[in-house]
A and B are shown apart, each in its own frame.
Chain A
Amino acid sequence: MREEFFPTFDSGSVFVDPWLSGFESTFQVVLMGFFVCLACGVIGNFVVARRLALVGDAISHSLLPGIAIAFVFTSSHSLPAMLIGAAVAGVLTTVLIELIHRKSRVKPDAAIGIVFTTLFAVGVVVISIWLDNVHLDADCVLYGEIGLVPLRESFILSGANLGPLPIAIMGAVALLDILLVIVFYRVLLVTSFDAGLARSLGMPVNTTHYGLMIALALTIVAAFEAVGVVLVVAMLIFPAVTVGFFFERLPALLFGVAPLSLAYSLGGFHLARWLDCSIAGAMVVTAGALFVVAWFFGPKGGLIYRSRALGFLFATSKQKISPQIVG
């Protein structure tokens, strides 16, 4: 009876076979998963730190009309057009949310709900009117199909085959995100932590915000083919909050994204292999499981640490708050 729900676990067929028999496609799927998690995790750290997790969710949904309308205009699967459509949709989403929030009594969370459902609905309408007979699979947009990535057309750069195009693009976007974070680290840090200080230092606070939103939109659109617009939100949020149970400084959180991305990608792939299910789904399940582990065992605010150390901690921290006068 149980076997019907859970296929028997055979470590050979789950862990070894995919690497022996179909190394190239296995490697490509895992690499794609890694790039997706890496790019999303790096941007996601700032999204989470700025308390914009829901905005990430909103942007991921409102990419649908951006992609659909770009599709109508170019009537092709052209990726540059889709990227532009998605970037426009992403920025439009953040602008609309801020506009509604500032120019009315609607609260920010409600404004987010209004904007992304409306835009998502526009996407659904556009698809059903103009794209009914074209291949823009709604399921694929929602959940992605990372397993099909190795079958996509190759990216050829001056004669050299650099593997499937989506992987090349995702890798480039991950690299771009990392470079942007390195170059603009201080501006991102200060505008995220203390916008008042950032403005007083003459930093471009609004430009940084919209720049981050554009990077977020580009990352999501590059990733959606693999994991879909729903699951991509998990990849934005999970790395930051999971590492947060181990480290409390932004650089450490950013570096923690890489090992977690590898764990999500490998774990998800092999879990999917075992259960014969969606790889993207299995990746998010893996991420969720690792989050629970971190939540229990993490030294910074994990459940076990808290319950045992609470009394002791309070005693020591009280002592350290003892009055100190400036010398």
Chain B
Amino acid sequence: MAHPPPLEIHDLTVSYDRKPVLYGVDVVVETGSLVGVVGPNGAGKSTLIKTIMGIVQPNGGWVKIFGQPYRKAVTRVGYVPQRESVDWDFPVSVMDVVLMGRYGHAGFMRRVSKRDRRIASECLEKVNMQPFSDRQIGNLSGGQQQRVFLARALAQESDLYLMDEPFAGVDAATETAIVELLRDLKERGKTLIVVHHDLSSAREYFDKLMLLNMRLVAYGEMEETFTPDLLQKTYGGRLTILSDVAGQAAGRSEFEQEGTPKL
């Protein structure tokens, strides 16, 4: 194949302490896709991201990034971990964190070059965090912290981006900013795989959906996957709390508005 796909997963099975978390996942993501990964809590969304990057070892199956094992494609993958996964009191500045995104390119021993600094600075500019570059990261709001993580992923100058709940706990302005950033990256031919917890906004944010609940329920264009039938399959008996979302999916409005659609 001339252009191997950004992400190819074959028969992937992952388990923690013998409890399966992901089972027989098969998927090929095409270049330039903006994919939302949705599913109930414990569906294995974060595990999928971590397995793709080799943080978690699978029990079976394989993952290929641009036709290569992850180890050989490290510099082509950008990563945005969950915001709570790090200690925000850690003694580093905003700039330090963004520069970490350059380490994959610069090598672990070489000094940070002027070019690395310039790129990091530009990436901070893109998320409107340039004025904060010398701040200690603990002094930032949740939304600002998320922007720093996004700037770091941008600084990785990758072709495939894996993001774990970038919208979790951010203010409305940051949410808008992230959506625009995702669109912009997609326009530039990047591939984005974004774990998302809020089904109601998933439809407008992404072009494709990956419905996950231990198994891959469905993957495809939004109109093919955002259907009551497939959502029911993904979220199972909990569709009552999803009634308004399901209504939205079916294009009807007579569904009762019960609870929030957040999962």
A interface vs B, CB < 8 Å? Answer: 49, 51, 183-184, 186-187, 189-190, 192-194, 196-197, 199-203, 244, 247-250, 252-253, 300, 317, 320-321, 323-327
Q: Which residues of A contact B74 (CB under 8 A)?
A: 200-202
> Which residue from B85, B96, B100 sits with its C-beta under 8 Å from A249?
B96
> Which residue from A183, A194, A247 sits with its C-beta under 8 Å from B86?
A194
A113 to chain B, nearest CB (A): 23
> Contacts A194-B85, A196-B81: A325 and B100 contacting too (C-beta < 8 A)?
no
Q: Which residues of B contact A320 (CB under 8 A)?
A: 131-132
B224 to chain A, nearest CB (A): 30
Interchain CB contact under 8 A, B108 and A250: no
Q: Which residues of B contact A190 (CB under 8 A)?
A: 100, 103
Interchain CB contact under 8 A, B103 and A192: no
Q: Roughly how many angstroms separate A247 CA and B100 CA in the complex, as a whole number? A: 20
> Which residue from B53, B87, B144, B184 sits with its C-beta under 8 Å from A321?
B144
Interchain CB contact under 8 A, A248 and B93: yes
Whether B215 is near chain A, meaning CB under 8 Å from some CB there, is no
Task: Identify the interface centre among B85, B91, B184: most chain A CB within 10 Å of its CB.
Answer: B91
Whether B257 is near chain A, meaning CB under 8 Å from some CB there, is no
Interface SS, B side: helix
> Contacts A187-B108, A323-B171, A324-B177: A196 and B85 contacting too (C-beta < 8 A)?
yes
> Which residue from A196, A203, A323 sits with its C-beta under 8 Å from B79?
A196
Q: Which residues of A contact B87 (CB under 8 A)?
A: 49, 51, 193
Q: Which residues of A contact B54 (CB under 8 A)?
A: 199-200
> Contacts A200-B74, A249-B91, A249-B92: A325 and B103 contacting too (C-beta < 8 A)?
no
Which of B34-42, B135-143, B200-208 lies at the interface with chain A? B135-143
B133 to chain A, nearest CB (A): 12
Q: Roughly how many angstroms separate A323 CA and B180 CA in the complex, as a whole number? A: 14
Whether B176 is near chain A, meaning CB under 8 Å from some CB there, is yes
Q: Roughly how many angstroms separate A300 CA and B103 CA in the complex, as a whole number? A: 29
Q: Which residues of A contact B128 (CB under 8 A)?
A: 324-327
Q: Roughly how many angstroms separate A11 CA and B254 CA in the complex, as a whole number? A: 88
21 A-B Cβ contacts within 8 A? A51-B87, A184-B108, A193-B92, A193-B100, A194-B86, A196-B53, A196-B81, A197-B79, A200-B79, A202-B74, A249-B92, A253-B91, A300-B136, A321-B141, A323-B172, A324-B128, A324-B177, A325-B128, A325-B177, A326-B128, A326-B184
Interchain CB contact under 8 A, A323 and B103: no
Size band of the interface chain B makes with A = 35 or more
Whether B1 is near chain A, meaning CB under 8 Å from some CB there, is no
Q: Which residues of A contact B90 (CB under 8 A)?
A: 49, 192-193
A-facing mask of B29-50, CB < 8 A → 1, else 0?
Answer: 0000000000000000000001
Task: Identify the interface centre among B55, B126, B131, B172: most chain A CB within 10 Å of its CB.
Answer: B55
Interchain CB contact under 8 A, B92 and A321: no
Interchain CB contact under 8 A, A244 and B173: no
Interchain CB contact under 8 A, B100 and A194: yes
Interchain CB contact under 8 A, B91 and A244: yes
Output the nearest chain B residue to A51 by Cβ-Cβ distance.
B87
Q: Roughly how many angstroms separate A199 CA and B49 CA in the complex, as a whole number? A: 12
Interchain CB contact under 8 A, B55 and A196: yes
B74 to chain A, nearest CB (A): 5
Q: Which residues of A contact B171 (CB under 8 A)?
A: 321, 323
Q: Which residues of A contact B189 (CB under 8 A)?
A: none
Interchain CB contact under 8 A, B177 and A326: yes
> Which residue from A197, A202, A247, A323 sits with its C-beta under 8 Å from B173?
A323
Interchain CB contact under 8 A, B81 and A326: no
Interchain CB contact under 8 A, A250 and B172: no
Q: Roughly how many angstroms separate A252 CA and B136 CA in the complex, as a whole number? A: 12
Output the nearest chain B residue to A254 by Cβ-Cβ distance.
B91
> Contacts A183-B109, A196-B85, A321-B143: A250 and B50 contacting too (C-beta < 8 A)?
no
Q: Roughly how many angstroms separate A16 CA and B108 CA in the complex, as a whole number? A: 49
A321 to chain B, nearest CB (A): 5
Interchain CB contact under 8 A, A200 and B55: yes
Whether B193 is near chain A, meaning CB under 8 Å from some CB there, is no
Output the nearest chain A residue to B136 by Cβ-Cβ distance.
A248
Chain B residues 38-75 with CB under 8 Å of chain A are: 50, 53-55, 71, 74
Q: Roughly how many angstroms separate A321 CA and B172 CA in the complex, as a whole number? A: 12
Whether B245 is near chain A, meaning CB under 8 Å from some CB there, is no
Q: Roughly how many angstroms separate A130 CA and B177 CA in the complex, as a whole number? A: 69
Q: Which residues of B contact A187 (CB under 8 A)?
A: 108
A13 to chain B, nearest CB (A): 41
Interchain CB contact under 8 A, A325 and B173: yes
Interchain CB contact under 8 A, A249 and B71: no
B156 to chain A, nearest CB (A): 9
A-facing mask of B101-118, CB < 8 A → 1, else 0?
Answer: 001100011000000000
Whether B7 is near chain A, meaning CB under 8 Å from some CB there, is no
Q: Which residues of B contact A196 (CB under 8 A)?
A: 50, 53, 55, 79, 81, 85
Interchain CB contact under 8 A, A325 and B180: yes
